[in-house]
């Protein structure tokens, strides 16, 4: 049995095809008329935001750049503390901490400081205790957040040392960052490396 066809003519232009396909095309055309073009969507910006790498008054540190929304984390600016909190161990040697991320340092820090294995995590604890400009929501950045710092403003970090991330490699190893060239690798959790807190400025 031959499929039914429909012929549509608009301003002298004729289009003929199977009825089912023509209905689909009509519906898609109507939908396209009701949605704004993607190109017209304006990026979110904050009025008065300092340049990347510059101190952001009232935010507790340097503007580390814009971060798009990801999973349950809304869009925000990464604020990098103005100074390190020292050289500390990652901690928890021999324990593979569950639910740690390579992208979400805030959750990592909450998991580490809220652990119930009676072990200490000095790098995460120091970041959680850090305060600046009245903000007390700093954390140990994840590997991806340190990488963003290297991409946007590596000069705000020391170039001659390694920085701990809150991202774990295994029970004995965690990821670090070298800001002179953007290298990321992993070291023993008992090693003392530099530690720099960060926080999020939600928009």
Q: What is the mean pLDDT of residues 81-108?
A: 96
When pLDDT is averaged across residues 10-37 and rounded to a whole number, the result is 51
pLDDT per position as a tens digit, 103-135: 999 999 999 999 876 779 999 999 999 999 999
Q: What does the pLDDT look like over 147-180, one tens digit per residue?
A: 999 999 999 999 999 999 999 999 999 999 999 9
Q: What mean pLDDT comes out for the span 181-195?
A: 97
> Taking all residues of the chain, what is their mean pLDDT, rounded to a whole number?
86
3-class secondary structure per residue, the chain? CCCCEEEEEECCEEEEEEHHHHHHHHHHHHHHHHCCCHHHCCCCCCCCCCCCCCEECCCCEEEEEEECCECCECCEEEEEECCCCCEEECCCCCCCCCCCCCCCHHHHHHHHHCCCCCCCCHHHHHHHHCCECCECCCECCCHHHHHHHHHHCHHHCCCCCEEEEEEECCCCEEEEEECCCCEEEEEECCCEEECCCEEEEEC
How confident is the model over 67-81, as a mean pLDDT? 95
Q: Where are the domains positioned within the chain?
A: 5-40, 55-202
pTM: 0.77
């Amino acid at each position: 049995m031959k499929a039914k066809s429909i012929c549509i003519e608009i301003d002298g232009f004729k289009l003929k095809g199977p009825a089912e396909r023509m209905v689909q095309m009509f519906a898609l055309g109507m939908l396209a008329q009701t949605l704004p073009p993607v190109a017209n969507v304006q990026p979110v910006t904050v009025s008065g935001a300092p340049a990347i790498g510059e101190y952001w008054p009232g935010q507790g540190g340097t503007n580390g750049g814009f971060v798009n929304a990801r999973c349950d984390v809304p869009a925000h600016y990464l604020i990098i503390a103005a100074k390190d909190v020292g050289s500390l161990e990652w901690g928890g040697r021999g324990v593979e901490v569950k639910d740690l991320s390579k992208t979400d340092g805030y959750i990592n820090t909450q998991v580490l400081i809220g652990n119930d294995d009676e072990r200490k995590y000095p790098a995460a604890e120091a970041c959680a205790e850090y305060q600046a400009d009245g903000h007390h929501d700093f954390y140990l950045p994840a590997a991806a957040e340190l990488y963003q710092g290297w991409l946007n403003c590596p000069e705000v970090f020391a170039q001659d040392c390694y920085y701990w991330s809150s991202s774990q490699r295994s029970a004995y190893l965690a990821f670090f960052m070298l800001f002179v060239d953007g290298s990321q690798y992993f070291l023993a959790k008992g090693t003392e490396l530099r530690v720099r807190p960060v926080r999020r400025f939600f928009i």
